[in-house]
């Protein structure tokens, strides 16, 4: 479960009185009445088609609106109290549904969940509180929930932020291995690329991602930190500012929740896994998105492609030609600039380069 503006909007709409039920656009206009009348101009107006996409969770709230929810939360709460709360047939049921979503959302920081819990308890246990004060508490709850839901990243935000890098400029060959990867991915969804150190596992994985970029809406790159667990590597990604000071388990939960929300249009690369017994590995293998894991460990019982030395002579010749051309170009540049020529040192294991 994940708290989103779409969930809040649909929950509010579902709890509207039937005789006063508003269309999505009218409901949106009522919730953000002050924003739309005082904080926008013609260029920043929200079109009806965009409102529909927000309700269906196909797009985020516009960034300017997210900032409004943060900086003018009192204004948003006032609009909710005046234009929304009185028209709900059961305002407390609406609040409870949203709170349950918050409570079950493992991606939210514990202190934030606790804060919403305190607000919810005050609303639930307010028997002798005047209606106007109770409505204000409900509106504040909804306004803050809308802010937190809008501010947190979507799956595609993370994917766009941590794209798989392109392979090195001298990548060539490896067609057989790339075809095997494609077959394993199609059949199993997850594949291990195994082989000795510096044989080129990472570059093959990057080349596969580059060659198949049109088949994926997103790619996600998680480099394993040497000497650290998968949890520590995944938690190290600076996903959201409000998770920066949270515990390791809290960050891992948030990041894994985003990964679990991705489907087959996303390719995840876990680069340089060190421990085949890592406790998070089985969970990663169960993800719906496509997963490539590069490692020096042996995974003979799992779908895997072993990356070995390049044996095809034509590929080796092309690799030598590349470095020969590069050396020639550097010589010419050195002569033109009247600077001493610095030779190009071939990689010690150039015959292994992918």
At 35, list the tokens. Answer: 């924003």
Q: What CATH number does residue 170 fall under?
A: 3.40.50.300
Same-domain pairing of 107 and 165: no
Q: What is the pLDDT of residue 319?
A: 66
Residues 26 and 134 occupy one common structural domain? yes
- Residues 9, 77, single domain; the answer is yes
Which residue in 114, 136, 111 sits closest to 123, CA to CA? 136
The tokens describing 105, both together, are: 């959302």
Look up the domain containing 346 and give its range: 313-352
For the stretch 1-44, pLDDT in tens is: 678 899 999 999 999 988 887 888 899 999 999 988 887 765 44
Identify whether residues 264 and 330 lie together within a single domain.
no
Q: What is the pLDDT of residues 193-204, one digit of tens each?
A: 999 988 889 999
What is the β-pairing status of strands 290-295 and 190-194?
parallel
Same domain, 134 and 87: yes
Q: Return the pLDDT at 282.
A: 92
Question: What are 57's two structure tokens?
Answer: 């969770």
Q: Is residue 14 located within the same domain as residue 120?
A: yes
CA distance between the termini of the chain: 41
| Nearest partner of 152 among 115, 106, 118, 117, judged by Cα | 106
How far apart (Å, rounded) are the C-alpha atoms in residues 297 and 284?
A: 16
Question: Taking a C-beta distance cutoff of 8 angstroms, is the pair 11, 97 a contact?
Answer: yes
Overall size of the chain counted in residues: 354
Q: What is the pLDDT of residue 1?
A: 61
What residue ranges of the chain have pLDDT lower than 70?
Answer: 1, 41-48, 153-162, 238-245, 312, 315-316, 318-319, 322-354
- Are 108 and 201 found together in one domain? no
- Spatial CB neighbours of 305, under 8 Å, sequence gap ≥ 6: 177, 180, 181, 184, 191, 192, 193, 194
**Do 120 and 250 belong to one domain?**
no
- Whether residue 163 sits in one domain with residue 144: no
Q: Are residues 253 and 131 in the same domain?
A: no
Q: Which of 152, 187, 202 represents a domain boundary (last residue)? A: 152
- Please tell me whether residues 133 and 188 are part of one structural domain: no
* Strands (E) located in the chain: 190-194, 218-223, 266-273, 290-295, 304-306
What phi and psi, each to the nearest 5 degrees, are found at residue 344?
-90, 120
Q: What is the pTM of this model?
A: 0.58
Q: Do residue 287 and residue 193 come from a single domain?
A: yes
Question: CA–CA separation, 269 vs 32, rounded Å?
Answer: 40
The C-alpha atoms of residue 97 and residue 91 are separated, in whole angstroms, by: 10
Query: What does the pLDDT read at residue 96?
Result: 95
- Torsion angles phi and psi, residue 272, rounded to 5: 75, 55
* pLDDT value at residue 234: 87
Q: How far is the C-alpha of 35 from the C-alpha of 40, rounded, in Å?
A: 7
Total tally of structural domains belonging to the chain: 3
Minimal CA–CA distance to 59: which of 150, 144, 142, 147? 150
């Amino acid at each position: 479960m994940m708290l989103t503006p779409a969930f809040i909007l649909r929950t509010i709409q579902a709890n509207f009185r039937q005789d006063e039920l508003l269309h999505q656009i009218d409901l949106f206009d009522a919730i953000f009445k002050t924003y739309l009348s005082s904080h926008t101009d013609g260029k920043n107006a929200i079109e009806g088609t965009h409102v529909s996409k927000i309700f269906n969770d196909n797009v985020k709230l516009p960034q300017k609106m997210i900032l409004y929810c943060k900086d003018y939360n009192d204004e948003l709460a006032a609009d909710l109290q005046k234009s929304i709360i009185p028209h709900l047939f059961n305002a407390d049921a609406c609040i409870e549904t949203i709170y349950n979503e918050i409570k079950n959302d493992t991606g939210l920081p514990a202190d934030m969940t606790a804060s919403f819990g305190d607000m919810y308890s005050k609303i639930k246990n307010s028997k002798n509180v005047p209606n106007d004060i109770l409505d204000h508490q409900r509106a504040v709850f909804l306004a803050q929930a809308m802010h937190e839901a809008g501010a947190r990243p979507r799956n595609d935000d993370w994917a766009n932020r941590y794209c798989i890098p392109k392979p090195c400029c001298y990548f060539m060959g490896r067609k057989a291995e790339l075809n095997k990867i494609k077959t394993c991915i199609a059949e199993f969804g997850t594949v291990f690329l195994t082989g000795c150190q510096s044989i080129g596992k990472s570059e093959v994985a990057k080349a596969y991602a580059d060659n198949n970029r049109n088949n994926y809406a997103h790619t996600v790159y998680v480099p394993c930190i040497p000497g650290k667990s998968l949890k520590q590597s995944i938690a190290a990604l600076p996903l959201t500012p409000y998770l920066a000071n949270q515990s390791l388990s809290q960050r891992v939960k948030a990041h894994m929740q985003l990964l679990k929300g991705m489907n087959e249009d996303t390719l995840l690369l876990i680069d340089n896994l060190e421990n085949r017994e890592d406790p998070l590995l089985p969970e990663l293998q169960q993800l719906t998105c496509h997963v490539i894991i590069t490692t020096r460990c042996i995974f003979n019982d799992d779908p895997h492609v072993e990356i070995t030395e390049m044996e095809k002579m034509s590929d080796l010749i092309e690799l030598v030609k590349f470095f020969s051309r590069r050396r020639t170009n550097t010589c010419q540049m050195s002569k033109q600039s009247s600077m001493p020529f610095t030779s190009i040192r071939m990689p010690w294991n150039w015959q292994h380069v992918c």
